[in-house]
Amino acid sequence: MVRFFVMMSHFRHSCSVNIYIPCLAFALVAMSAFGQSNMVAKTTNQMAFLNNANDPVEKEYKIILTDDDAAQDDAERWIHEADSYRNKGIADPRTTLRNRLQQRFEPVGKAYKDFLQRHPDHVRARLAFGSFLNDTGDEDGALEQWEKARDLDPKNPAVWNNLGTLYGHHRSPASKAFECFEKAIELKQDEPVYYQNLANHVYLFWMDATNYYHVTEIEVFGKALGLYQQAIKLDPDNFVLATEYAQSFYGTKPPRLKEGLRAWEQALKLARTELEREGVLIHFARLKIALGRLDEARLHLDAITNESYATTKRTLTRNLTNAEAKTAKNNTPVVK
């Protein structure tokens, strides 16, 4: 996987299609919101509640989802707190955090199990429980729930999308993930997440994609870019999506740096915080060093002040200094 210090975000349940990244799973590895690739498959849920809000089954289901959201809120807060402690040089609290998260999520998991034991054909509950299990690192459990949901409702696009995220995660040939994402798109052609996920997998598993789609290496990256563009058309204000698209230009054969720079310029327009804005400036500097626009790269690096980017900034500053020295040497007249 390409790693280019791009931003990641956490998303959770809502009453519409939802996107989120596993909280507990990330807590057990690197909890920083930066320094990772943001090319992570997004799982989805259908509408959280039925129109009949008075249905006692739906009321119970809504309570479980609300508890799940509250647990996710707590987990996200604890993860950021632990990350802050490490940045301040305080002893690594990872073991304590793991225990707190497990205790916080345990009653939510039990509630899902009890509900599904009494309502085994509730597809949306199986979708939500699978997402919960995936969040907490239980991929086998998530796969079981989502496969049951698929058997109950094979025309549910969210089921196919979620299965694609797992099938593409070292579980089977990548072609199976391609098939699932394509099925999700076929069933719901206006959902940007499905195009985004397929684009991610075509990009990351490009060798498998060349065989699956019977295209060349150059053509497969063009396909990935086209899928990202379709997702952006459907969700033009999505900053994370814009950064994924911009990042993909690093991996094309050959790298398309000028096009990548234009994509990052578009992403900058969507940045919501100073942290996100400086994250884009990191890419501006990297690309402009590679393109020989050294003065502009220096200005970008000077504008980056957040400590989250200190290590990357030092590396790029060193690369820029070397490039400036090399340019100066090449421009020095030869005295005869």
pLDDT of residue 90: 66
Here the tokens at position 105 are 């999520």
How many Å apart are CA 212 and CA 231, to the nearest integer? Answer: 21
The single residue listed with the structure tokens 């393109």 is 291
Question: What length is written for the chain?
Answer: 336
**31, 262 Cβ separation under 8 angstroms:** no
Q: How far apart are CA 19 and CA 265, in angstroms?
A: 24
Bond preceding residue 254 cis, omega within 30 of 0 = yes
Q: Looking at residue 212, what is its pLDDT?
A: 95
How far the first Cα of the chain sits from its last, in Å, is: 51
Residues of the chain with pLDDT under 70: 1-53, 87-94, 170-171, 333-336
Nearest to 196 by CA among 40, 47, 46: 40
**Per-residue confidence (pLDDT) for residue 161, from 0 to 100:** 96
Helix (H) or strand (E) holding 105: helix 94-118
Domain residue limits, the chain: 1-153
Other CB atoms within 10 Å distance of the CB of residue 273: 11
User: Nearest CA to 253 among 279, 278, 229, 217?
Assistant: 217
Element (H, E) at 12: none
Buried b (16+ CB within 10 A) or exposed e, 12-35: bbeeebbbbbbbbebbeeebebbb
Q: What's the pTM value of the predicted model, to 2 decimals?
A: 0.80
Q: What's the pLDDT at 30? A: 31
For the chain, how big is the Rg over CA atoms in Å?
22
Superfamily for 1-153? Answer: Tetratricopeptide repeat domain (1.25.40.10)
Q: Measure the CA–CA gap between 229 and 297, rounded to whole angstroms.
A: 27
By the 8 A CB rule, do 19 and 44 touch?
yes
